[in-house]
């Protein structure tokens, strides 16, 4: 397994939901408001994870149908538990080879996953293939290069200070294309039209240090995977460095922010 991906532990749905799901749920509603879709459309979600965007689609967009796919059985199990709605069908699938009929969807969306797909152009080509003429394709990813996930950036800053090799595992190093220009270029090269990109921001407030630290000890995702690969003494040093460096509110909370770049485009 490549060094850059060996800590990507993606099967533990409960653990990942605690690490990232609670913050991704805050980005989904403004993303959908920005897309401004009509009701009664046929939707496909590529890489649904634990169901954050799926739940928002059902709550806000009144779809005629929603198929949400993900390669992880663990994530799908958590998504089905999180979103017990008969209008959605959660299926195992690969975004680079969608088992979906061509020209069958009005909305094709993806949340916080495109950067992890090995062949992004193939994934966008597949999204374009299954979309009807005039359909909307929309996706968003974290602004990793700009430090848009502040709790993650703080973790890697502390980890790199103790272990310079950790820098190669950080998302800003691995996903430099996650910028406005990089994502717009990606969509345009995929042959999509009327490409637009916007910034979406949300708070990420942890009630205390334990609330911040505990998800990193669960192993689901690149940073938690790295954290749990450390020997106990090294993990303790990392914990202490973070505990001493994070900002604190008067009530002991840790006030941070998240920022994502969202793209929407039309299928010609």
pLDDT tens by residue, 15-44: 777 788 789 889 999 999 999 999 999 999
Q: Is the dihedral of CA 170, 196, 136, 22 positive or negative?
A: positive
Q: Residue 2 pLDDT more than 50?
A: no
Instruction: With a cut of 80, say whether residue 85 has pLDDT above it.
Output: yes
Residue where the block lists tokens 């996953």: 113
Strands (DSSP E) along the chain, which ranges? Answer: 42-46, 65-70, 88-92, 105-111, 131-142, 193-206, 254-266
CB within 8 A of 200, min separation 6: which ones?
27, 30, 31, 34, 140, 259, 260, 261, 262
Helix axes 232-245, 222-229, angle to 10 degrees: 130
Report residue 223: phi and psi, to 5°: -65, -45
* Angle formed at CA 99 by CA 94 and CA 101, multiple of 5 degrees: 140
Q: How confident is the model at residue 115 (pLDDT cuts 50, 70, 90)?
A: very high
Q: What is the largest CA-CA distance in the chain?
A: 57
The answer, yes or no, to whether residue 264 has pLDDT greater than 80, is yes
Is 134 buried (19+), middle (13-18) or exposed (0-12) by CB count in 10 A?
A: exposed
Q: Classify residue 27 by its DSSP letter.
A: H
For residue 165, what are the contacts with CB-CB under 8 A and spacing of at least 6? none
Which whole number is the average pLDDT over 139-163? 97
Q: What percent of the chain has pLDDT over 90?
A: 87
For the four alpha carbons of 235, 237, 238 and 243, in that order, the dihedral sign comes to: positive
Residues 175, 256: Cα–Cα separation, whole Å: 21
Higher pLDDT, 219 or 123: 123
- What's this model's pTM, rounded to 2 decimal places? 0.90
């Amino acid at each position: 397994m490549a060094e850059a991906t060996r800590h990507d532990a993606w099967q533990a749905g409960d653990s990942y939901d605690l690490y990232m799901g609670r913050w991704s749920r805050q980005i989904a509603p403004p993303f959908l408001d920005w897309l401004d879709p009509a009701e009664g459309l046929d939707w496909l979600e590529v890489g649904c994870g634990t169901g954050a965007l799926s739940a928002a689609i059902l709550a806000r967009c009144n779809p005629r149908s929603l198929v949400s796919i993900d390669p992880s059985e663990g994530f799908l199990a958590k998504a089905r538990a999180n979103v017990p709605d008969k209008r959605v069908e959660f299926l195992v699938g690969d975004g680079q080879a969608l088992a979906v009929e061509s020209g069958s969807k009005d909305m094709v969306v993806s949340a916080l996953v495109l950067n992890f797909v090995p062949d992004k152009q193939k994934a966008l080509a597949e999204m374009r293939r299954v979309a009807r003429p005039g359909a909307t394709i929309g996706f968003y990813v974290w602004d990793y290069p700009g430090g848009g996930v502040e709790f993650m950036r703080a973790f890697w800053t502390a980890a790199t200070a103790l272990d310079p090799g950790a820098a190669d595992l950080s998302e800003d190093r691995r996903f430099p294309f996650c910028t406005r220009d990089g994502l717009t270029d990606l969509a345009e090269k995929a042959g999509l039209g009327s490409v637009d990109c916007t910034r979406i921001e949300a708070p990420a407030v942890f009630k205390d240090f334990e609330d911040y630290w505990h998800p990193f000890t669960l192993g689901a995702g690149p940073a938690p995977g790295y954290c749990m690969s450390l020997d106990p003494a090294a993990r303790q040093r990392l914990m202490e460095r973070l505990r001493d460096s994070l900002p604190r509110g008067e009530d002991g909370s840790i006030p941070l922010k998240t920022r994502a770049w969202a793209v929407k485009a039309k299928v010609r």
